[in-house]
Structures are given as C-alpha cells and as structure tokens.
Amino acid sequence: MFAMKDDPIIKLALSIHSNPGIYALLLGSGLSRSAGIPTGWDIVLDLIRKLAALKKEQPEPDPETWYKEKFGEPPEYSKLLDMLTSTPAERMAILKTYFEPSDEEKEQGLKIPTPAHKAIAKLVKLGYFRMILTTNFDRLLEKALQDEGIEPDVISSEDDLKGALPYIHSKCYVVKLHGDYLDTRIKNTSSELAEYSPELNAFLDRVFDDFGLIICGWSGTWDTALRNAILRCPNRRFSTYWLARGKLSEEAKEIIHHRRAKVINIESADQIFTDLLEKIEALREIEHPHPLSTEIAVSLVKKYLSDPLHHIRLHDLIHEETEKVYREIISDRFPLTNVEVTKEFFQKRMHEYETITEILLKMFSTISYFGQKEHSYLLTKVLNRLSSLPRERDTGIVPLIKLQYYPSLLLLYAGAISALAANKYSNLRAILLDSQYRNPLLGEKKPLISKVYTWAVFSDGWHKMVPLENAEIKYTPVSEYLNEILYEYLADYLPDRQEFNEIFDLFEYILSLTYIDLTGNIRAPYGFFAWRYKDYEEDKRKSPLDEFIGQVIQQRSEAEILKVGFFKGSVEKFKEIVEKYKSRLKEVTKEWL
C-alpha cells in the first residue's frame, strides 16, 4: 500500500477508490486549457474583432467597450453570430474554427482530448465517476468517453433536462451547464451566468445533495448561478475537494468554507487526473484477485436497501457485479467455436457459469425478497444486460450459444422465487413482464421470457446433459436440476423444503402462463410441476397451483398478480390462458408414465 504521510493526492485516490460513484466532477475551462480551446469570453472577443474588421474599424484595446459604444448593449454570442453569418452553414464554419481541430492542429495535439479528459474517461469506465458537471462548451470530454466505449447522456439545455433519463439509471451523465458550442443559447455574459432556470436549479440541488464534489479548472468567480447553487446546499454528508492551480479567488474561498472543502494544489488538470488514475489502478491491482465475498455482498445489499440515502451505492454495487459477470460471459474464457462439446464439457461450462453468477445471484435474490417497488428496476436492468449479448456471440456451436443465457436463467428463477416467497409481485413483474432482450440480428427488443426459459436454453436434447442423476430418463431434467441447486441458494428465505417446492412450482406455472400472454404462443414451456401434479386431477386432488388459480378468480381485480399488471389486469384473460394451458399440459403429459 502507498505510504500515506501527508500526500493529499493519495488520500483523494483512496477516497475515490473506496467510494465509487459517490463523487461528482465539476470541471471548468482549465480542463481544456492545454488543448488550446478558447473560453467562451475569448470567443466573444474574437467575434467582436471579426465584426469590427468587416466594418473596417479598430476595436482594440478593449473590444467589449467598442461593441457597447457601437451597438448600445453588451455583446452576446448569438447576436454576434447573427451579425457575422447568414446561414447555418456559415455559422457552423465559424464555430468549427474554435472547437474542431484542423489537420495542422491535430498534428500539434491541439483541440483533441487531453490526458485529463482521457484519464477521466477511464475512471468513468471503471465506475468511479458517473456525474460530470462542466461549464465548457467543447466536446472533448464526450469524445474521450466515446473512445472508451461509453456513450454519455449529455444535457446541454433545459430541453434536454426535461426529457433526460434519471441519472441513477445512467452510466455517465455529462451536464454542460452553459450549453454546447453548436447551440446559440450558450451562457456567456455576466447577466446570462447570473441565474439558472428553476428546472436546472432543482436538478443541481439534487446533485449537490446526493454527491460529493471534486472541482477542477473552475475559478468560481464569474458563474454566479452555479456558485449560488453550491452555497444553498446545506448537505455535507460527502466531502468536497478543490483542485486548485494558482491563487484562489475570494468566491472560491467562500465555497470552500461553506462546503468545508479540502484544497489540493496542483500543477495542471492533466497532471492531477493522470496521477489519480495511476494511483487508483494501483489500488485495484493490490486488491486483485480478492473478490467481494457472497456474505459481504448480501450484507451490503441489505444495508443499502434499508436506507434511501444509499440508493446510488446500491445501484453501483449491483451494476459493478453485473458488469463483472457480463464481461466473463463474453470473454475468451467461453469460446463458442473450435471446441468439442461432450457431455463432460457441457456440464463443466454449466458449473463455470454457476460460479461466476453466484455472488450476483445472491444479491439479486436479496433485492427481490427485501426490495420495495422503487428497487425493482434493478432486477430488470440486470436481466436486460446479461441477456442482450453482442451480435458476434450469436454465431458458433448452437448448444454453447444457447447456454450463454444460463446465467440469466439462474437469476430469473432465483429472483422470481424470492419475490413470490416475500409476496413482492412488483418485483415479479420487473422480472417476468418488464425484462427484455435485444435480438442481436435485428436489434429489436422482445420479452426476455420468450428466449430465456429452460427448454430454450437447453434444447435439442441437451436438456438431458445436465448434471442430474438419471437426467436422460427425466421428463423435466433442467427444472429438477434448478430445483435442487436453487434450494441451497435460497435456503435463508425458504428453509422449509416443501414450501420451497410449492413456490418453485408456482413460479414455473406463472412463467408458462405469462409466456402465452406475452407471445401468443400456446406451446408454452412446462416445468417440474407438470410431472409433480400430473395425476392430481384424475385423483380429484387439489394442487397448490389449483389453490392459486382459485384465489385469483375469487379475488378478481384485487388479486395481487393482476393489480401489478399481469394478464392485462383482467381475471377473464387469466382464466382464458389457464384453460388454454390446461389443454397444453394434457397433450404434453398424456404419455408420461
């Protein structure tokens, strides 16, 4: 480990590493200084000089004063562009000279992402930052993020803010507080920077309350509205760091005092963010390969579920583990070609998928069992991610292509059984109704359960290859195997084996009915229950499934499963599908001994 001593950069690196996603970045023009990007005011002054040249007048030594005397008002970015151009194409041509590099500038390393931009993008990719506020107009940060494979959600106007995805669902939010250079509504003058809209103020109030703050490249002097937004936030639950280059302004000192910020003197933005990235990567290397244990993971999920203040930490914890599993699934560890797929190979790969999914499965089940309606989106998000694999993963040896969805199947079963055990039908809805996969060939989204069910993941005879005794003579071997292994995983929530079996069967039955409802296909999958209860009707016995059907019909629209939206909320629709599926089961089981 690093020698701590009094090195503030090491302390900051440790704080970021220990609290991924907790800090928002506030970046000013200093971040793009080394890229040769002019400030907004620099551009205004240059536009004034161009205008004066057209009028064959000399604006120096004070272009701003010349403009005021000439036109009787302060200079504005949009009005200057209107005076200098006649068409959008002309406007674009002028703007490009300030923000987009020429071939010569590219060779000189100008107007391209700096080491600071690149380091920040890597830290975003690693999950350490996901909220970035900037006063800059350029797109260097967006370019650096895209180079790392991240498409950020960019907010550059009040219009963007109104239709934006809530930031808790975003991999990376870039908020361009003063606009984008291609939008003439950018904020530049003192009057424009003095006040934000109520919508932007409300957004900033949430951000400054939810996140700690790391400030770099911003003086705090001119941006009155932004300064006021920080000062009116009373919360100091997370630290503020001010990365200062040179002397601090009086306005900056006021903010530092208010936020009790820690000041770190730096040489440049490039130096500090490159240094932070190196130290954080070193910390990650030191910790590798000590993964989060299952017990700690479940404990953290329970802690974060119980406290609304930890909603971001819960999101990031689940996201990080999901991404870890996703990267494993699509890695070279699981090739889809040039292997001999024997029974032993197939079972070995199943066990490997179970191993990489174990921690996420326990976390997923915990959310499904204890989580409230506001947490259910996490269940959908995990399943959507793991089941929407890259297009190139859709070619190869067919049974291995299909087995890639085994982790999703495990999560779907474990989560849905946990939801039913806790009577959390909103969580069951998130898993069965709301979850979707993206067709890798067509790009369209379809219901997850139209692809991820036992007979789809284990088709063409491979269902008899699961590691279950006498699997080859079983009618539902995959369901029986899942029944065995998931009981061990979910014993904390369903210790009674009989109760577990009944809920397991109920889930598979609901899955089948939902499959018919969402796809319109009567040839729905069937599970262990089809074997377990096949003689009940003939023996005039009522199964737990019959009791469930009777309760829903009796309760009608008050039945929990209908209230959350299954079967369009209609008891008539439910009864119709039950009858259709009854015929399907008779057809399937009529020759079973």
- Residue 315 CA to residue 322 CA, distance in Å, equals 10
Could you tell me if residue 403 is inside a domain?
yes
Any idea what DSSP says for residue 44? H
Q: Quickly tell me which residue has 């921690």 as its tokens.
A: 359
For helices 140-147 and 115-125, give the axis angle rounded to 10 degrees: 50
469 and 428 within one domain: yes
370 and 424 within one domain: yes
Mark which of 238, 256, 287 sits at the end of a domain: 287
Mark which of 287, 317, 332 sits at the end of a domain: 287
Please say whether the beta carbons of 189 and 74 come within 8 A.
yes
- Cis status, amide bond into 74, omega within 30 of 0: no
Question: What tokens were used for 571?
Answer: 């008891």
Q: Quickly tell me which residue has 């002397």 as its tokens.
A: 247
Q: Which residues contact 488 (CB under 8 A, 6 or more apart)?
A: none
The CATH code of the domain that includes 154 is 3.40.50.1220
208 and 79 within one domain: no
Model pTM score = 0.56
213 and 263 within one domain: yes
Could you tell me if residue 280 is inside a domain?
yes
Name the phi and psi angles at 186, rounded to 5: -60, 150
- Residue 593 CA to residue 591 CA, distance in Å, equals 6
212: β partners = 23
- Residue 212 CA to residue 265 CA, distance in Å, equals 19
Question: What tokens were used for 388?
Answer: 């929407």
How many helices and strands (H and E) does the chain possess?
27, 9
46 and 26 within one domain: no
Question: What tokens were used for 253?
Answer: 């000192």
> What is the amino acid identity at position 515?
Y
How does pLDDT run along the chain (593 residues), one tens digit per residue? 334 445 788 889 988 988 888 899 999 888 887 888 887 778 888 889 989 998 898 999 999 999 999 999 888 777 887 788 877 777 777 877 888 888 888 888 888 999 999 999 999 998 899 999 999 888 999 999 999 989 999 998 888 888 777 887 788 999 999 888 777 666 655 677 788 999 999 999 999 988 999 999 988 887 899 999 999 987 666 889 999 988 898 999 999 999 899 999 999 999 999 999 988 887 776 654 444 578 888 888 998 998 888 888 899 999 999 999 999 999 888 999 988 999 999 999 999 999 999 999 999 999 999 999 999 999 999 999 999 888 878 889 999 999 999 999 999 999 999 999 999 999 999 999 999 988 766 667 899 999 999 999 998 888 889 988 888 888 899 999 999 999 989 999 999 999 999 999 999 999 999 999 999 998 989 888 888 887 777 777 888 899 999 999 999 989 999 999 999 999 999 999 999 999 888 888 887 86
Over the range 423-450, which residues count as b (16 or more CB within 10 Å of their CB) and which as e? ebbbbbbbbbbbbbbbeeeeeeeebbbe
Residues present in the chain in total: 593
Pairing state between β 445-447 and 436-438? antiparallel
**Residue ranges making up the domain that contains 76:** 40-107
Tens-digit pLDDT profile for residues 27-66 = 988 888 788 888 777 888 888 998 999 889 899 999 999 9
529 and 481 within one domain: yes
How many C-beta atoms surround the C-beta of residue 289 within 10 A?
Answer: 5
Question: What tokens were used for 581?
Answer: 């599926």
413 and 545 within one domain: yes
207 and 129 within one domain: yes
Instruction: Give the count of domains, the chain.
Output: 3
On the CB side of 355, how many CA atoms lie within 13 Å of its CA? 8
Could you tell me if residue 521 is inside a domain?
yes
- Residue 394 CA to residue 72 CA, distance in Å, equals 66
- Residue 120 CA to residue 123 CA, distance in Å, equals 5
337 and 212 within one domain: no
359 and 331 within one domain: yes
- Residue 112 CA to residue 144 CA, distance in Å, equals 9
Cα distances (angstroms) measured from residue 579 to each of 196, 529, 586: 60, 16, 11
Mark which of 55, 90, 107 sits at the end of a domain: 107
Tens-digit pLDDT profile for residues 530-582 = 888 877 777 778 888 999 999 999 999 899 999 999 999 999 999 999 999 99
Question: What tokens were used for 210?
Answer: 């939810």
124 and 17 within one domain: yes
Residue 160, Cα to own-chain centre: how many angstroms? Answer: 19
For helices 294-306 and 311-329, give the axis angle rounded to 10 degrees: 140
Could you tell me if residue 195 is inside a domain?
yes
Name the phi and psi angles at 535, rounded to 5: -100, 0
444 and 352 within one domain: yes
In 226-271, DSSP assigns E strands to 240-244, 262-265
- Residue 418 CA to residue 431 CA, distance in Å, equals 11
What's the CA angle centered on 233, arms 231 and 239, to 5 degrees? 95
